[in-house]
Amino acid sequence: MPVWEAEQQWIANHAPAVSLQATASRAAGAAGVKHVCTALSFGLSARTAVAASTVTVNLRDGATGAGTVLASWTFDLVAATLAPIVVSLSGLNLKGSPATAMTLEFGALLANLLEYVNLIGYDE
């Protein structure tokens, strides 16, 4: 990443309380401005058993719950407590559309699940 990009880096994160959906967004930029995701991380765990379910994490070219999915991760959970699962990716170059928000989010909340998300990038 060129020095000027590192100086203009932004970070969006969200670490809500247990049983709440984690979602972090970078608001839409001015006309012609694109968000570029260079790194992201997310995690989930449960000290109290969760219901058996499928959990999805989406990186969206758009606001929460809307817009094109740029990347997605899916986890099938068994009905049990859950040791921490952490995904951390860097060296990315995922470009959004001009004047559009970018969001990293869990697809839904799940009782007893602790979630967090971190989204890092720059604007071009």
6-15 pLDDT tens trace: 568 999 999 9
Mean pLDDT of the chain: 94
The alpha carbons of the chain give a radius of gyration, in whole angstroms, of 15
* pLDDT interval class at 5 (50, 70, 90): low
Q: Rounded to the nearest 5°, which phi and psi values hold at 98?
A: -60, 145
Question: Could you tell me if 20 and 95 are in contact, meaning their C-beta atoms sit under 8 angstroms apart?
Answer: no
Could you report the per-residue pLDDT of 49-61, keeping only the tens digit for each?
A: 999 999 999 999 9
Residue type, 123: D
Alpha carbons 28 and 7: distance in angstroms, whole number: 19
pLDDT digits (tens, 9 = 90+) for 72-102: 999 999 999 999 999 999 999 999 999 999 9
Whichever domain contains 16, its CATH number is: 2.60.120
Q: Are 23 and 116 in contact (CB under 8 A)?
A: no
- Looking at the structure of the chain, the number of domains it has is 1
* Other C-beta atoms lying within 10 Å of the C-beta of residue 85: 14
Contact 19, 112 (CB under 8 A): yes
Residue-number span of the structural domain to which 77 is assigned: 3-123
Question: Is pTM beyond 0.85 here?
Answer: yes
